[in-house]
Amino acid sequence: MSKRKSSQSNVWHSQKSQNGTSSSSQSNHVKENNKDNLDDCINKCVRYILFRAGTNPNITRQELIKNILPNSSKHFNEIFERAETILKQVYGYHLELAESSSSTKLFTVTSSIPYNKVLDDKDTCDKFPILDILILSHIFMMDGVCNENSLVDFLGSLKISYNKKHKLFGDVNEYINKSMIKSKLLTLELNNHEHKLYSWGSRASVSVKKMDILKFVAKMYNKEPKDWNKQYMLAQEENDE
């Protein structure tokens, strides 16, 4: 009888241990899924703000929750703060609180790159035309591909009009979509919605060093190239080839 009880007790103990291990495993799995979901929401928030900034730089809290965070509103503050950090550190955008009331918050997107500092970068201008560098830099920092709205907004934040003649750069629209494409500095593709997508062309890939671009961007923001880990690794890989 004692042996049977002992045997039964061992079985129960084993089952409890397995259940404990299973519960712990499930808990870790849930945590990992929650982290992945949170990271996904942050990336969606960044992409949405970049896209909206190209047409209307004013964005409300309600708009963000409705369009990209309907199931994550309780985590809005954390998602928004981390998205704001990415926008500032990677893309050079600030989210300024323009209006605030008990019912709404309105944010406006502004650029943190000093316009005069860009145009006064003589070191870079000696190697490549500054407009080429600006465009290639933006595409590089956007993980190698950017849409037309993103590019237009980026240039607009530097007071470089895309659809009007600029006093230094002339017809920017024509220069990008004809000269830079023809000279193989840029590659232009259309996505499923017929939207323009720009990436580095074959000439840019062989004549422009990613590390030079990253150093240029770092200089604009008073940072070090290593502050952008992903881009720095890509630039290092190119140097090691």
Instruction: Name the CATH superfamily housing domain 2-111.
Output: MAGE homology domain, winged helix WH1 motif (1.10.10.1200)
pLDDT tens digits, 149-188: 899 988 988 888 888 888 778 889 999 999 899 888 899 9
Q: How many CA atoms lie within 13 A of 83 on its CB side?
A: 24
Distance CA 7, CA 29 (A): 33
The predicted model scores a pTM of 0.53
Return the CATH number of the domain spanning residue range 115-240: 1.10.10.1210
**Contacts of range 68-75, beta carbons closer than 8 Å, 24 or more positions apart:** 68/41, 68/44, 69/41, 69/44, 69/45, 72/37, 72/38, 72/41, 75/38, 75/41
**Averaged pLDDT, 6-13:** 50
Least confident of 7-11, 33-37, 214-218: 7-11
2-111 and 115-240 share one fold: yes
